[in-house]
Amino acid sequence: MDIVVQWQGVDSPDSGLWNLRRVLYAITAPNLSEIFYIGKADKASVRERWRCRAKARVWEYLNTERRIHEHCLLVGDLYMEQGRHFSSQLLSDVESLLINDIQPPANSKSRFARISRPGLVVYCQGDWPLSSQAFVDIY
């Protein structure tokens, strides 16, 4: 199954991207040279996930351990093959594959173990900052 994730940079606090659900989001370095964290906004909006208490550990890591006080936000919308339908599990599987392959330092889950979806291929496009753009679940 092929999934395209179209990434867009959030350029203002008023951007409509903050209100999206059923998407991925990534916290990156200001120059987009590194992805620090990948998450999903499924039942809550990107803004709600950004502000939730569960993110305190991410902000603590960035501020204290990495001394990073500025960052960028990318939002990734999923596009599937015709006839395929979105599910929360699919969103989780795409998130998990990206975390496992990229190893963002502020992510703890899915970095070392994950449930696989053999045949899943994720293509990251748009404002995606990394040179690697295709990710294949080979487990």
Task: Quick: pLDDT tens for 7-57.
Answer: 999 999 999 999 999 999 999 988 888 899 999 999 999 999 988 888 788
Q: What is the pTM of this model?
A: 0.91
pLDDT band at 133 (very low <50, low <70, confident <90, very high): very high
Residues 116-132: what's their mean pLDDT?
A: 93
Residue-range definition of the domain harbouring residue 70 = 2-136
- Contact between 95 and 38 (Cβ < 8 Å): yes
Distance (Å, rounded) from C-alpha 81 to C-alpha 54?
Answer: 33
| Residue that wins the pLDDT comparison between 135 and 115 | 135
Which of 28-37, 76-85, 107-116, 119-128 comes out lowest in average pLDDT?
107-116
pLDDT band at 60 (very low <50, low <70, confident <90, very high): confident
Question: What's the pLDDT score for residue 69?
Answer: 80
Question: What's the pLDDT score for residue 112?
Answer: 67
Domains of the chain: total: 1
- Contact between 25 and 74 (Cβ < 8 Å): yes
Distance (Å, rounded) from C-alpha 81 to C-alpha 4?
Answer: 9
Question: What's the pLDDT score for residue 111?
Answer: 66
Question: What's the pLDDT score for residue 109?
Answer: 77
* pLDDT-above-90 percentage for the chain: 63
Torsion over CA of 107, 110, 112 and 117, rounded to 10 degrees?
-150
